[in-house]
Chains A and B, each alone.
Chain A
Amino acid sequence: MKSEHDEIKDMLHEYLHGTLSDEKAALVKGHLSGCDDCAHEVNIAVALLKIVAPDPGAVYFNNLTKTVLSTARANTPKKFNLWKYIFRPIPIAAAASLCLVIYLTIFNLGNFRNSHPKQVQIASNTQNNITRNYVTHHTQNTNIVMDTSATDDTLYSLLMEEDYDDGFTSVYGGYDHDDDSYEE
Chain B
Amino acid sequence: MDEDSRSEDYRLIDSYLDTGDEAALEALVVKYRKEVYLIAYRVAGDVEEAKDITQKAFISAVSELRNFKKNSAFKTWLYRITVNTALNHTRGSAYTVELCETIKSDAKDADTWLIEKQQERHLKTMLASLPPRQRISVILRVYKGLSIAETADVMGCSEGAVKSHYHSAINKLKAAMAALLQGKDL
Contact = CB atoms under 8 A, between A and B. Distances in A.
A65 interface: yes
A60 B22 contact: no
Contact of A48 (B54, B62, B143): B143
B87 interface: no
B58 A13 contact: no
A56 B37 contact: yes
A139 interface: no
Interface stretch (B4-12, B71-79, B88-96, B117-125): B117-125
Which applies to chain A's interface (DSSP): helix, strand, loop or mixed?
helix
A65 B33 contact: yes
A53 B173 contact: no
Contacts of B120: 47, 50-51
Given A49-B143, A51-B124, A68 B170 contact: no
Contacts of B119: 47
B20 A44 contact: no
B142 A50 contact: no
A50 B105 contact: yes
B104 A50 contact: yes
B186 interface: no
A71 B62 contact: yes
A64 B170 contact: no
Interface in B72-112: 98, 101-105
Interface in B12-33: 20, 22, 25-26, 29-30, 33
Contacts of B182: none
Nearest to A41: B170
Interface string A64-84: 110111011101100000000
A143 B25 CA distance: 110
Contacts of B177: 43-44, 47
B38 A53 contact: yes
Contact of A54 (B30, B62, B102): B102
A52 B101 contact: yes
A54 B48 CA distance: 11
B50 A51 contact: no
Contacts of A14: 145, 147
Contacts of B29: 64-65, 68-69
Contact of A69 (B22, B34, B146): B22
A175 interface: no
Contact of B141 (A13, A54, A65, A69): A13
Contacts of B59: 67-68, 71
Given A19-B145, A47-B123, A65-B26, 6 more contacts: A14-B145, A50-B104, A50-B120, A69-B25, A69-B26, A72-B25
6 interchain residue pairs of minimum CB distance: A17-B145, A53-B41, A68-B58, A72-B62, A45-B142, A65-B29
21 contacts: A13-B142, A14-B147, A17-B145, A19-B145, A40-B174, A43-B177, A44-B173, A48-B123, A48-B127, A50-B120, A51-B101, A51-B123, A52-B101, A53-B42, A54-B47, A64-B55, A64-B58, A65-B29, A68-B59, A72-B22, A76-B20
